[in-house]
Structure 1
């Protein structure tokens, strides 16, 4: 038996390749809020229930504006601002692990020290551009952070600069210190230990609404609330995600899909289901998993729900 094809959004990509672009549908009111954040160069704080497309919005904006690969900082309770700005491998430097790649550069030289510094996602967003345009940074699930992290972000997001103390202590070098960037072997040059952006990056922060943020932090953000998509929008989302299969790809299954959407909305309102799970169920229908009875369709959704909770 041949292995069935995965959904379009689960196709593997080559190492270093860009994430596959996925269709993203958003209402005109939400578009206006996103455009306001882009024009003002203010962080966009996106809130909504799980599965409303908060993270996907960042990828859609980057794809639409040609901003290159999205820089991602997934936040958890242990995340600190320094994690997002840079990492300094002090132990590796003491051991000489790997050694500086620059010929003749010892671990005590500026270039040698720089070989053990790598900018994090926020640091890279500030220090680099993509084809002359600012980078886009996704700070995912900020509401899971330590209570002080949003306030810690304020200065960096407001001023667009930070200092790397390990480099600031080095003797001043007119050439600066080359350091690695997030997710690549490319380097940028840091002068006097200071990283300052040429263009403010575009920052999208997501929150599931599990906590309130400090007023001073909220004042510096453009806020967007993503509602749960209704039945008509869910139909449009399904059509968009399977558009590559051809205009008639869903025709034979559409009555079952409509019932699936109806059941999905009813169960989602009770909590726990995300739009991705509806797309998974539609994909199963297209591949021959066609439950003919209502309770079997609900069983498919229940199975997807259980998987999503693990």
Structure 2
């Protein structure tokens, strides 16, 4: 199995430039001096999440005559928006399969970009997308299980290493594993002394379990759907798990209460709106037993239901 390389990521950076935002590293002045923390705010992307990078790179790599026939994707929400937005940029049709437990805010945003949205039960999303490709045509753009998608997400790692060359700890959310696969590849090449640590919700901690056991996890869709972090309910593929086992130093989990706490901390202390999936890394910084040192926490997205944000800010003490 071929893993992606730093050359793949650097090539992706050229394709992504001008279409995705080069997000800054934002220092967290509330963090203790012996554990300095920088946030990488990917919620500043036009679609509110990092997924734009992978979608742009993957769709840019499709030959023009094939791309004009359209693209198809399945997603819990942010990849849906990314593919819909990128398809609009290229002027091609997009059909997006989302699930019945996808937040309405993400479904509405996907539709606003002009995509046709199909809603199915969580267990049917991949098969429904494959059937659309088989019967209606178009190119599948997977949310994580594709080298071009992984390479696009890896551009985040390039930026972290360029902006903080002496970074010591990089915290990355884990779901299907495409994001951490790309970032770990870039960090290993550009900041080899840094530790790359994945973060999952405890209720969807399949990768953490698999990492400890040395084999791909096998949690059911229903088990992984329990977490409030709707963007972290997927499971790694053979391709992404191969990257994780080779390149990642550890995978830790956080509780639902810790995720809620981190959403509030980010909003009140850092003036950043994060969805639950984007807040897990800050939750790990606040609550998990992690290596000390200069730390970057990736805020992967900010597409949170307004009612949930209001509930968290009302109930949490910061």
The verdict on a shared fold, with TM-score over 0.5 as the criterion, is no
Q: TM-score range by the shorter chain?
A: 0.3 to 0.5
TM-score relative to the length of structure 2: 0.32
Larger radius of gyration: 1
Where relative contact order (Cα < 8 A, 6+ residues apart) is larger, the structure is 1
TM-score relative to the length of structure 1: 0.33
